[in-house]
Amino acid sequence: MNKTLAEIIQNLFDAKESNTELAPLTSTSKTAIWRQIMEAVAFVIFNFQEAVRMHMEEIDTKIREQKVPTLRWYRNLALRFQYGFDLIPETDEFRPDYYDAISDNWIVADEDQINSSKIIKYAAVTRNVTNGKVRISMKIAGDNIDAAISDEKVVSFKKYIEETQATGDNIVIVNYTPDILKINFKIAYNPSVLLENGQSILLGNVFPVVEAIRKFMKNLPFNGELSVQKLEAAILAVEGVNDLQNLQVQSKWIEPGVGYGFYQPVEISRIPKSGRFKVLFEVEPGFDQNDVSTITYVNYQPET
């Protein structure tokens, strides 16, 4: 913390009082040589402090104005977005307060208000080159991972990105509902552990294979690569699963201006176009039976 000249002088006087060797210096005259020496030293310290402060402000300004945006920087920029707050002019930082029209005052936001304003909970930024043109894709999602962020919030977010992005960067905001992952597996189960519908004998209304799939999908990072082999391994690790047959793994995603396209096979792995996948085990609003994944259980006995 920077100190005033008077504070520095007082600190020197306090240090002098605590030094027994300087006890003979008792004159209260403003022209006393020892006082003038201390004030001169304090003046030098104060000016050095001010020079350092001005130098640091200059460095901060240069850093702020000469940022080199990277994909990681853009991701952090997205996560810092505060819906309803203004930016500090000429920066990519938000004001710590907001305008209250009723009281006609600027009010400092509390921690809950700031946290609630940060509506971008997931973000992934990638760089693509098509026909020699570079495009930066910014995939985003909010608290409700199964839904897209509302239009009015995305409009505000896009304005924020336009004001803070590097000049010339072509950024495309991807805000869609999840890709639908549809799987069709045949499970060879152990009838001592599972019922013929996949339900656990000991745990009652629990379907371990379905739970394993849900856990696997939940642990998949946002915009993470889905490996079919790793999904199969997660299922094979379930108690009561002896083996499995992968009949089909498909996914479909939102096409701009069209909606969900046709299912496409996932052979080895896939990165979701929206940043995440959704697996349906029953019909949900907006979808039909064709979107529901199928798990078939068979008491398989190999031929001898």
Rounded to 10 degrees, what is the CA torsion of 152, 153, 156, 161?
Answer: -140
Is 79 found in the same domain as 31?
A: no
Domain residues for the domain of 265 are: 179-298
Residues 157 and 138 in one domain: yes
How many domains in the chain? 3
Task: Write the DSSP string, 206-254.
Answer: --HHHHHHHHHHHHSPTTPPEEHHHHHHHHHTSTTEEEEEEEEEEEE-E
pLDDT at site 245? 94
pTM, whole model, 2 decimals?
Answer: 0.72
Q: Are 153 and 119 in contact (CB under 8 A)?
A: yes
Residue 130 lies in a domain: yes
Residue that terminates a domain, selected from 17, 34, 65: 65
84 and 192 both lie in a single domain: no
At 62 the pLDDT is 67
Q: Do 141 and 252 belong to one domain? A: no
Q: Report helix, strand or coil for 7.
A: helix
pLDDT value for 34: 76
Residues 80 and 185 in one domain: no
Nearest to 71 by CA among 216, 193, 183, 169: 169
18-29 burial: b if 16+ Cβ within 10 Å, else e: eeeeeeeeeeee
Q: What is the DSSP string of 162-183?
A: HHHSPTT--EEEE--PPEEEEE
Q: Are 226 and 219 in contact (CB under 8 A)?
A: no
Which parts of the chain sit beneath pLDDT 50? none
User: What local confidence, expressed as pLDDT, does residue 168 receive?
Assistant: 82
pLDDT of residue 69: 80
| Confidence (pLDDT) at 39 | 81
Last residue of a domain, one of 125, 143, 174: 174
Three-state SS for 56? helix
| Claim to verify: residue 228 and residue 200 sit in the same structural domain | yes
Q: Which of 48, 65, 82 is the last residue of a domain?
A: 65
List residues bridging with 255 in a β-sheet.
259
Is residue 243 domain-resident?
Answer: yes
Q: Is the domain of 150 the same as that of 169?
A: yes
- Per the CB < 8 A criterion, the answer to whether 126 and 135 are in contact is no
pLDDT of residue 75: 94
- Domain identity same for 194 and 279: yes
Q: Which runs of consecutive H residues, i.e. helices, occur in the chain?
A: 5-17, 33-65, 71-79, 111-117, 151-164, 208-219, 228-236
Does residue 288 sit within a domain? yes
